[in-house]
Amino acid sequence: MAKQLKICLAASAGGHTSQLLKLSRSWDGHRTFCVTTTQVLADQLRKFGSVYVVGESNHQHPLKVLVVLIRCIKIVLREKPDVVISTGASAGCLMCLLGKLLGARVIWIDSITNIDRISLSGRMVRHIADLFLVQWPHLAQKYSNVEYLGAVI
Amino acid sequence: MIFLTVGTQFPFDRLVRAVDEAFDNGLFDEEIFAQIGQTSYKPRNFDSTISLEKNLFDEHVRKASSVISHAGVGTITLALDNQKPLLVMPRLKIYGEVVNDHQVAIAQKFEELGHILVAYQEEHLPKKIIELKSFIPRKRHIQTEAIANRIAKFLQSLANSQ
């Protein structure tokens, strides 16, 4: 019998989360938990298991990134996911990198808002991702190891 | 009714004022209802609210004959899902309306694909408002199902191998 996977759903609050939740059918039958950045969508995420709120961070505020990093390390060690699925941004990126270190597979769906190039977070995750999807056809031509199937929203 | 929406994160006085002035100049033959967020400018020609709950927001888009908005991708995709003619004005960083100029890139891309009309500056707005009356947006084909299937298959084969 196929094993039930433990999946980490990691996305910043707002558009990143709404794009990820559009794909909720895909993890049906597996166990999930969520990592988000603010309380805003925490209630909505609750039906996908425990919700960890790690706070907002971006590369312009290194100290905040450090705080979020430490929180993410604790979550990964506690939950030990088999798979991390993320639409970004920086918190999702951290969960992907940390998950990978502990042997998880990584699925990245780059947000539709990234038009000219893949997001900074996406570029950091691209080389370690096991499945990397973009939502614009020209981005799939520009980068290797990147798939385009269409737009999520 | 035309639905004007600018999101809630930052003010967008330029767009609300420009639409109000276009109304003064008789460019609209319909009523407008606006969601203006933190915008400090108060429109004289139409009713407005600070924010709308998701359900109400969706309903306003559904009921509108056309939509005018900032170039937020959530609003753009929602309007297109409902096949509404949409005119956007991107928020610009130089005016403190947004943290970077990603809305310009989004507007350009959706405009290039024939999905929306764009006024890049206030002075382009009157001309675009007139165009909006006869604008038929090109239909978008989203692939949520195919993407969800791709991920489900990936997870299934991983589960089978463990």
> Domain A6-148 belongs to what architecture?
3-Layer(aba) Sandwich (3.40)
- Tell me chain A's radius of gyration from C-alpha atoms: 14
CA-CA distance, B128 to A52, in Å (whole number)?
Answer: 45
pLDDT (0 to 100) of residue A1: 57
What residue of B is the nearest CA neighbor of A138? B109
What ipTM was assigned to the predicted interfaces of this complex?
Answer: 0.96
Mutate to test the interface with B, among A6, A119, A153 (most CBs of B within 10 A): A153
* Domains assigned to chain B: 2-161 (3.40.50.2000)
What average pLDDT does the segment B20-37 reach?
Answer: 97
Q: What are phi and psi of B88, to 5 degrees?
A: -115, 155
Contacts of residue B45, defined as CB under 8 A and 6 or more positions apart, other chains included, come to B20, B23, B24, B32
Give me the sign of the Cα torsion angle A9, A11, A14, A20: negative
What pTM was estimated for this model as a whole?
0.92
Task: Please check whether residue B117 is in contact with residue B135, taking contact to mean a CB–CB distance below 8 angstroms.
Answer: yes
Across the interface, of A83, A109, A115, the residue whose CB is closest to B106 is A115
CA-CA distance, B135 to A48, in Å (whole number)?
Answer: 41
- Put simply, the answer to whether B140 touches A151 (Cβ < 8 Å) is yes
CA-CA distance, B42 to B51, in Å (whole number)?
Answer: 14
Which residues 31-90 of A have a C-beta within 8 angstroms of B?
82-83, 85
**Chain B: closest CA distance from residue A111 (Å):** 10
Domain residue limits, chain A: 6-148
Q: For residue range B109-146, list pLDDT tens digits in order.
A: 999 999 999 999 999 999 999 999 999 999 999 999 99
